[in-house]
Structures are given as C-alpha cells and as structure tokens.
Structure 1
C-alpha cells in the first residue's frame, strides 16, 4: 500500500508499510511460531488477514496549530503538527468528520494545547465509527473545562453538520505528561452509547470503554472463540477481562452459565445493556478485578476465556488457573511474548489450536487466540 505521508517522512506509524502485505503476514506468523516453539504439537490454523487500507474504526488525532487554523494528525520529529486527515487507514465514513470538527473548533474557539508553553486546551480528538450504522462517537480531550460552555453553545451547529454524531463528550486530562485521557468524562450529547454490531450481535460502547480497532478481524476473533465453545459444549464459562462483553455474548447459549468479569464499571454497564437486549438470562456481568474475582471463588467452570491487556494475566492468576479444575482455556492475546510467559506458568495446559489475526496491518502488532486443554 502506498501512503504519501510515509513516503514524505511525515508519519512513520506504519513501520512495516514498505513490506508487501503477504510478507508482513508471513513474518508475524513466523514470529508467533517462534514464541510458542515450546509447544510444537499445537495446530496452527490459517491466519486471518485484514484489508490493507480503510480498516480502522478509530482515529486518535493530536490537535496542534491554533484555534483559527487547527491541525489534526500527529506531531512530527520537530514537534510540528502534521495533517493526517487523509490517512489511508481511515474509511471515508470516519474521515468525513474531520472538516466539520475543524469548523467547530474555530467556532467554539478551542485553543490546541501547546507542549512547550503548557498552554491551550485541546490535546486530542478521539473518534470511533460504528461501521454498520455510520454513527460516530467523538471525544474532545481537554486540559480543563474552559471551553465546555462554548462547546455547548455551538453544539447544535456541529450536530447539523454531522447528523451521524451519536455520542459527544469531553474528557479532562489536566496533567502535562504522556497520558492519553483522564478519569473524568463530561457528556455533551443526549446519548451515551454507540452501538456496534459484530456477527449480528449488538455491542454498546461508552466513551471510556475498550473496543477493537478492526471490525472485520474482530468479528473473526469472536467467531473463533464461539466455534471452539460450541465444539466443547461447556455448561459454564468465565470470561475474564470481558470488556463490553464480546466473547461472553458470542459464547452464550441456552442453559450455559456465563460470567463476565471486567474492572471497568462503564464497560460492564455496556455489556449488561447488550445482554438485556438479547434476553440472555444465564449471562451475568460483574465489575471486579479478574484476579480478585478468581481468588474469591471455590468452583471454577470447565472453560475460562481470557482477554487481558498487553501485560498478560500475570503470575497470580496463572497460579490460580494452574491449580483450578478448569479443563480448557481460550486465551486471546494482543501481545504474544506475554502470552508465552503466561503459558510457561501454566504447564498443565497445552495449546491445541492457535490462530493469528492481523488486527493491525503495517505494524508489528497482531492478535493470537489459543485453545488450551489440561493434560490428562
């Protein structure tokens, strides 16, 4: 894929862009195999590829320049703003929001944050697209509430220009450090959830909830877990680090008890909303730390699904699962080295099947989903 920003040296986020996509995918598969070489009997399923362009449902735009002439994109090596509104990774339904947002920044006179002087307000624009409906969630990451009144005053103008705008919020991040967002969210729109649909199931996204970046590959990820679950036919499941409920909702079935655990209260509220819409009486979601939840249980279901952040599930939860009565694990990892470390800590489990899903083309990142069974 050709990108004029990469060719000109304005953006190098897609570090593997010069490599043909088939070679990228082959390298990732080989890298993953090397990390899991201690389990040579695992069956490697064919990798799931991605579209090379227009696959992102999210945009994180650094805002620079001035309120009269804002620049949406990234900061270059010299700290100068680089305009990336026409990045080829964004689908048109997402990219078409940038011009109305620039006009709104001017209208509400929201000064971009300036790193050197530590002045200004607007640090980032975070956009999420519901691919199926075309609706948008837009979050303004601000240093303070200084501009919120003006934003409310001109909100109707933005809504007229962006009728697909579903959720609009302000996230307050007052600190001068490399932290994307803060804890406090101010909702400016009437709706607080953006509905995403994967494999026909509704998933509700709130401003601070996690959601996969690539819809098509995410659908394949959840479908793989569902297919394995249907083959195993467990009577009960834990979905740890469940987020907005993607794995739990896909693996739910009549008479199958599913418990989803996630530390984010907002994500659990979203998961409960989806569960209620689907009338899934045997599905429960609870806002707890996954390791703390597990440590408080005396009975463990036959199947546990794990979808942790990049650091993995850690030694404590590994030790718990190793000593538990669980028969199978489905482990979805966005960081293969931490997956390999966790598997070494659970020697009673062996990988039966592994699948690589290329959630992030042109980068060294990828997703691995693994079905593990306890020996004996």
Structure 2
C-alpha cells in the first residue's frame, strides 16, 4: 500500500456526501474529500492537502458520472462562487442527502440513537426564494480587457480579500437582479473605490438588498467607510424608474475592521425602510437589520411545524429565545396561554411588539436583552414556570452558560431550531445530559441548491 502524498493524482470512488457538499472517498486507508464530486462517481482527483487521517483534493476529471448529475447547472458562476454547491444535483436528491446528514450527525456527533425522524419538508421554491442578499464590493480585473474595475459580488471561496463578480443570482427575485445592475452601473459612473480589507481603507463595503414576497417591494442598504456619497438622489431616481416596487434606500457607515454588513451610523434615508411579509396569515414588519428567515415560503413551513410539534394548550407558557421579530413566538401564541420572547437586537424587539399588535395578539411579552441576562428577565415576566422552551440560536449554536440556564428552567418540552447540524449535535449532547431525551427530528429544506439545512428537534424531560 503506497503512502498518499501531496500532488498525487488518485482515482477514487465517491461513497458519500459530507456536510459542506464535499464528496467522500477512501484511498489507501485515507478519507479523501473531493469538491464537486457526487456519490457513485469515479473521479480523478489531485491531493492538495494531507492531514493525519484524511486528505483534501481537487477534482481533475470525472471518469464515470453519477446518473443524478446535472451536467450544466443553470448558474454561469456555479463552479467558482462556492454558494450553490449542489446545483449539480436535482432538488429531490439534495433533500435526500440533507435528511441523511442530519440523522448521521445526530447519531455520530450527538451520540443519539433512538429518535423519530420525519420526512424532510421541501422548500416550495428551488430557485428565486431568498428575500435578503448581502453583496460585497471589490476591485477585480475585467474578464474582457483585464483592467481593474469595480465589482459587486460574493467572496471567492477561502478568500476574504477577493470578490467574484456576480451579474445576477438565481436565488434572489428578479427585481433584485435589476437593483444589483442599476447600483453597480451608478457606482462605476461615480468613480467610487471599494474597501480593501487588508489595509482597511476604501469607500464602498457592502450592499444589502431585501425583498417582500407579499408586497413585491424592495429596499437597499448601502454600507460604506467614511466619505461622501455623491449623487445619491440620482441613484434613488434610477432605482425608482428601473426596479418595480423599490421602496427605500438607506446609506450607513461601517467603520469596523470585521467584514460584517452592519450599519453603525445611518447617514441618509429615503423612503420607509420597513418591509411587510405575510406568513401563515400573520403579518410581519421587518426592519433593515432585523433577522427574518431568508426563505419566506420555507419559513411558513418551518414556523407552522414548530407550533405543531410544540403541542400547546391554553395554559402553556412558552419561552422564545433568540426570538428575532417574533415569528416563532407569534405562531405559538395563537395556541398558548402566554409567550415571552428574548432577543438582543433592540430593533428586532420593536418589530416583534409591533407584529403582535398588528396581528391582534395580546398574550406576548418581548424583551430586548442579551443571553443569559434575558433569561432572568423572562422568568420575571412569565409569572410562573415555562412549559415550553423554543430556541433558534445563531449558526454557532449556544454558549455554555446560556444553554445551562435554559436547561435549568426544566420545561417539560424543549424545541431546538438550528441551521447547523454540527452545533445542533454538540448542544443536544448537553441538553440530554441535563435530563432530556430526543423525541422527534424534523429536517426542513430552507436553502435549496446549497448544503445548508434547517432542523427542528423536539426533546422531552425524562421525568416529564
């Protein structure tokens, strides 16, 4: 058996798909990860990195293709973007592998065996489903003439300092394609430069676009470094002319070093930057920087399923941790005696309170506080013990202190909503050590064409 080395060209059979979209093969006792390779394929791959027990490779050629492979994915930058890594698979196959990955992760990392897995809920839309897009500005050589030019796109895989120009994204509504094109043309005419993350200088940083599938309206957030945004009124006029339903523009300053699309200071606002979305008969106000599920149609499935799995009664008290604009809590409030929501983003809590009011829901309390301080406030507001806890934390999962505080509530029913199977499995271990057992696992396909997957896990207290 020859030892595998960097730069070796190896022929391997792809046996599995790892979370992250990499094909998994074995060669001379090593696990080899190959991007853009599908199970059932025989491929030639070149080793680019070797670790103690696995290696990373790049795909050189496909010697025997999977019958499921889509030879020509619809996106022209699919193979360079790194976003829609599963466009080479039919939607049905994507969901089959996602369901398997959730179960495998909970069993291997979460050390769980006995639980009911329900069939994955598939997003009604496979393309054009996103209601929010975050783009970055950069300076890149033109593909036509090679000269440097301003571009608006996504970070190239593994590069914080390089931007891939994206003329149109198939995950966003067509109205945002026109918004993107109009904004880029205007910015080039103005001669603006892009922020350089290495030197922390340059003007344009991010463009955030949001869209309502209910009203057909859109808004634009333009984030820059310090400087003067000239001809912004001209930009607004163009957007009003070319983008049907364009509603508002916000110019904001971000002085931070981190490459995060957050506004530190609003400099100029045109229009009303509050969007409205309807989900399962409930109306939601969404502020520019508030969290809301990016797949509106998928969110309807997700929220309805959370409320169903909660099995609420008129005397139920539910804690909605990381409540955002209150979407989960308000869906549950229609069946529960009371709901307390906690969220650290004050703007989102304002939205949550307004959303409760506009939907005629009067059995909710929404509190602006970071975890775990929010738990102390929630206990006081509840007026009694919680019967249900629902958490929908950030992608990184729960911090140990906050999770311990939630477990200490000893609610009979605990629902964990997650977009990251690995951190979900990690936290599930802690929750089960705290006296819970997994009851039901419900995968939800919120992000077609990508490897990302949303999961709802219902746990019950062993003494409940």
Tell me the TM-score normalised to structure 1 length. Answer: 0.89
- For residue 450 of structure 2, what is the aligned residue in structure 1? 363
Partners of 1:185 and 1:371 in 2: CA distance: 41
Partners of 2:264 and 2:220 in 1: CA distance: 16
Are 1:169 and 2:257 matched, yes or no?
no
Are 1:30 and 2:95 matched, yes or no?
no
Gap change, CA 1:115 and 1:332, over 3 Å in 2: closer
- For residue 15 of structure 1, what is the aligned residue in structure 2? 85
- For residue 366 of structure 2, what is the aligned residue in structure 1? 285
> C-alpha root-mean-square deviation of aligned residues, in Å?
2.7
Equivalent residue of 2:101, what SS? helix
Gap change, CA 1:254 and 1:24, over 3 Å in 2: closer
Picking from 438, 449, 453, the partner of 1:351 is 438
- For residue 8 of structure 2, what is the aligned residue in structure 1? none
| Pairwise CA distance, 1:65 | 4.5
- For residue 462 of structure 2, what is the aligned residue in structure 1? 375
Partners of 1:271 and 1:359 in 2: CA distance: 22
> Which blocks of at least 5 consecutive residues in structure 2 are unaligned?
1-69, 141-147
Partners of 2:301 and 2:219 in 1: CA distance: 24
| Pairwise CA distance, 1:32 | 1.2
Equivalent residue of 1:64, what SS? strand
Structure ranking higher in helix proportion: 1
Equivalent residue of 1:260, what SS? strand
Are 1:62 and 2:141 matched, yes or no?
no
- For residue 247 of structure 1, what is the aligned residue in structure 2? 328
Residues 197-218 of structure 1: per-residue CA shift (max 9 Å, x gap): 2112111111211121211211
Matches within 5 A, 1:78-93: 81-93=163-175
| Pairwise CA distance, 1:107 | 6.0
Partners of 1:180 and 1:253 in 2: CA distance: 34
- For residue 5 of structure 1, what is the aligned residue in structure 2? 76
Tell me if the contact between 1:321 and 1:346 (Cα under 8 Å) persists in the aligned partners: no
Are 1:322 and 2:407 matched, yes or no?
yes
- Bigger drift between 346-355 and 180-189 goes to 180-189
Tell me if the contact between 2:195 and 2:205 (Cα under 8 Å) persists in the aligned partners: yes
Partners of 2:192 and 2:213 in 1: CA distance: 29
| Pairwise CA distance, 1:266 | 0.4
- Bigger drift between 259-268 and 362-371 goes to 362-371
Are 1:72 and 2:152 matched, yes or no?
yes
> Which blocks of at least 5 consecutive residues in structure 1 are unaligned?
none
- For residue 256 of structure 1, what is the aligned residue in structure 2? 337
Tell me if the contact between 1:65 and 1:81 (Cα under 8 Å) persists in the aligned partners: yes
| Pairwise CA distance, 1:352 | 1.3
Are 1:131 and 2:213 matched, yes or no?
yes
Picking from 306, 312, 330, the partner of 2:397 is 312
| Pairwise CA distance, 1:164 | 1.4
Larger radius of gyration: 2
Picking from 415, 419, 427, the partner of 1:342 is 427
Partners of 1:328 and 1:199 in 2: CA distance: 23
Picking from 73, 95, 98, the partner of 2:177 is 95
Gap change, CA 1:318 and 1:175, over 3 Å in 2: closer
Count of aligned positions: 373
- For residue 232 of structure 2, what is the aligned residue in structure 1? 151
Partners of 2:248 and 2:255 in 1: CA distance: 22
